[in-house]
Amino acid sequence: ETGVTQSPTHLIKTRGQQVTLRCSSQSGHNTVSWYQQALGQGPQFIFQYYREEENGRGNFPPRFSGLQFPNYSSELNVNALELDDSALYLCASTRGGTGGTVGEQYFGPGTRLTVT
């Protein structure tokens, strides 16, 4: 088990609504990345937060936004939900700022979002 936690576990929303997902990073980790995993696919990078600022973004529209807090926990917000947003949303934490060396990323259990 990693020290990464996510809430809620499951969520059902209606198209057009907004949703907020939460992630607590592993102790000592200052970087959080969010991924979307559609059924039967590998995770796709949404964005990353390092020291409370967005530090890279994948091919996702602006209605996907995020925050990172001083304790390094993070939120993912999705506005104007679409049916295709139904997926498992994963966060991963790592220790950043190590001279550009990629650190191991540890994933949480995910939030299963269903949009109807």
Partner 1 sequence: GENVEQHPSTLSVQEGDSAVIKCTYSDSASNYFPWYKQELGKGPQLIIDIRSNVGEKKDQRIAVTLNKTAKHFSLHITETQPEDSAVYFCAASRGGSTLGRLYFGRGTQLTVWP
Give the 3-state secondary structure of 36-67: EECCCCCCEEEEEEECCEEEEECCCCCCEEEE
Query: Least separation, in Å, of the C-beta of 80 and partner 1?
Result: 25
For 76-87, give the DSSP string. EEE-S--GGG-E
Bridge-partner residues for 31, per DSSP? 50, 94
Query: Taking CB under 8 A as the criterion, which residues in 66-95 touch partner 1?
Result: 90, 92, 94
Residues 5-44, mask of contacts with partner 1 (x by CB under 8 A): -x------------------------x-x-x----xxxxx
Q: Alpha-carbon distance 92 to 4, whole Å? A: 7
Q: Mask of contacts with partner 1, 93-112, x by CB under 8 A? A: -x-xx--xxxxxxxxxxx--
Instruction: Report the Cα 34 to chain-centroid distance in Å.
Output: 3
Closest distance of CB 74 from partner 1, Å? 14
- Applying CB under 8 A, the residues found at the interface with partner 1 are 2, 4, 6, 31, 33, 35, 40-45, 48, 50, 55-56, 58, 90, 92, 94, 96-97, 100-110
